[in-house]
Amino acid sequence: MDTYGYIYSYCIRIDHNIKRGSEMTAPQAVSQQNPSKVAFGKVLAIQIVAYVVLVALALVPGIAYGDSANPAVVPFIIIGSLAMIALLVVFSPFRDGTAGHVIAVIAGLLSVVCATTMTLGRAIFAADATGGKDFSMEDGWIAGVGGLLILLIVISFGRQMARENRTHLIRSLSHSVVEGVAMIASAGWCFLPTVLKAIGTVAFVVALLVIVALAVCSYFWHRDADPEPTARDPWIGIAILPVMIAGAVVGIAALAVVTF
């Protein structure tokens, strides 16, 4: 084949490939650009399994310690909260770097401490007329969460301002905050045993609606995700993200149970 014929056939092949690429459907194009993505059905399946495991862990009696009249309880479900924190680190869909992951993990572990010990409650709640302090584990956790959220936002914003090259500032800041919020909220699952003892029909329906709403959100998170190219199975992190956030709802529901 002469030089002209070779160039002609090469151009024909390029034209054919371009046409074939332009005929791809949108899902095919997304799949080709994001080879790590999987069907949303797998994401949903992991969420369902996570909820079932958490409920099962909540049925196992926890370990009570301290004042017999108002004991602190370390629930068995703490294993689920810690496991989710670890999974979100390993399969993170966020682009907030190692420092962002470390900050989020520390915030999550401190939230677990607030949910399972009386230390923070003793430090911040005033003593009553008898010199004692009347507060619940839920009170202490909610107070701790408030402080952790403030610190998370301040530290995350400070990190971004300290960067010399502030490209993708909004994305980096939002990823850092969302990861930290999920880590903090996951400790709320420690109060699921309290909720299960008092849950009624209305509360069950509300909880189900919240779970469905978060599952719908996770569909869009999965569809629009743009993790690091080197991220390891980030779809798993996206799958457990709504489960972790739902922990905040569990904690608030438990506070309502012990208060009212």
- How many angstroms separate the most distant Cα atoms in the chain? 102
d(CA 99, CA 94): 12
Residue 14 banded pLDDT, cuts 50, 70, 90: very low
Neighbours of 75 (CB within 10 A): 24
pLDDT of res. 22: 45
pLDDT in tens, 143-155: 999 999 999 999 9
d(CA 211, CA 209): 5
Average pLDDT, stretch 86-100? 93
Domains of the chain by residue range: 1-33, 34-259
Residues 131-187: pLDDT tens digits?
555 678 898 899 999 999 999 999 999 998 888 777 788 888 999 999 999 999 999
